[in-house]
Structure 1
Amino acid sequence: MTPEPPAGAGPGAPIPPRRVRVTAPIAQARRAPGRPVAGAVAELSEVGQVYVRSLIRSQLLLAVVVAVGFLLILLAFPLLIAYVPGLDQAEFLGVPFSWLALGVGVYPIILLSAWLHVRAAARNEARYLALVDGA
């Protein structure tokens, strides 16, 4: 079945391409629009409010743990350079090691901290949604 030219077009008119509907995969699908689950549960009962407070508390604890861990590792760089003899004099390709450690070595730690935080936060939310859906 071939598409037909638009109405009013001559016999040699180009045929426009068919429209294609692009949708997200089912695994990426979001919930139907409406009230968020957390808001609906919190409004229903005191138990729902306990669930929401529990989620907020677990997410806050996760953020504090990741931030403190990141800061401890970040503070370890200058301490390592200060207390390891000869490390402040070491060079790599003409660049002092301390500059490389503080200027470049921090970024993998930032990425690792962010990745761990996002993964753990998603796990917390998945547990919360499983708990709410079961309630």
Structure 2
Amino acid sequence: MAEEQQPPPRRETVTAVPRGVRRRPPAHAPARSEISEHTTLGATYVRALMRGQLRVALGALGALGLLVGTLPLVFLLPGTGSGAPVWAALGLLVYPVLWLIARWYVTRVERNEADFTGLVTDPAEPPPGPRRAGRS
């Protein structure tokens, strides 16, 4: 019997940038180098991040102060002598509001950090992966 001839395997060409060719530097200097070299522009970037984080922290602290500051007014309301409505207000109103303030704070701080990371990283680099894997 005649053996069937198979066509020769197809050749694949792999193309890449030649090793001697360097990648073009970005059009602007990444802010990371400005920060690591302690230039005035790098200090401005870090100061802007710190101001943003401080602004969020003061907002959360102000909301917490309003919440805790109004608690004595709950005790002054008429009919709170028995104690049950006061504990109901403390248990049912204060803790969920505390949780909301904390959640708002964490969300805003993470957004500030993500904006700063986007500013600092080189656009040619891949973005960093999510860092929330260990959280529950």
TM-score normalised to the size of structure 1?
0.57
Question: In the alignment, which of 101, 116, 127 is matched to residue 104 of structure 2?
Answer: 116
AA aligned to 2:87 is W
TM-score normalised to the size of structure 2?
0.57
1:125 offset after TM fit, Å?
0.9
Q: Deviations over 1:18-65 (max 9, x none)?
A: xxxxxxxxxxxxxxxxxxx98754223321111011101110111111
Matches of 1:38 and 1:78 in 2, distance apart? Answer: 49
Question: In the alignment, which of 52, 76, 80 is matched to residue 58 of structure 1?
Answer: 52
1:134 offset after TM fit, Å?
5.9
AA aligned to 1:114 is A
Higher relative contact order (CA 8 A, sep 6+): 2
Tell me, yes or no, if structure 1 residue 101 matches structure 2 residue 89. Answer: yes
- Where do 5+ consecutive residues of structure 1 fail to align? 1-36
Matches of 1:57 and 1:76 in 2, distance apart? Answer: 28
Aligned residues: 93
Aligned CA RMSD, in angstroms, stands at 2.7
Tell me, yes or no, if structure 1 residue 42 matches structure 2 residue 35. Answer: yes
Determine the structure 2 residue equivalent to 1:69. Answer: 63
Determine the structure 2 residue equivalent to 1:85. Answer: 78
Determine the structure 1 residue equivalent to 2:117. Answer: 129
**Larger C-alpha radius of gyration, 1 or 2?**
2
Residues 43, 49 of structure 1: 8 Å contact kept: no
- Where do 5+ consecutive residues of structure 2 fail to align? 1-29, 124-136
Q: Secondary structure at the match of 2:78?
A: coil
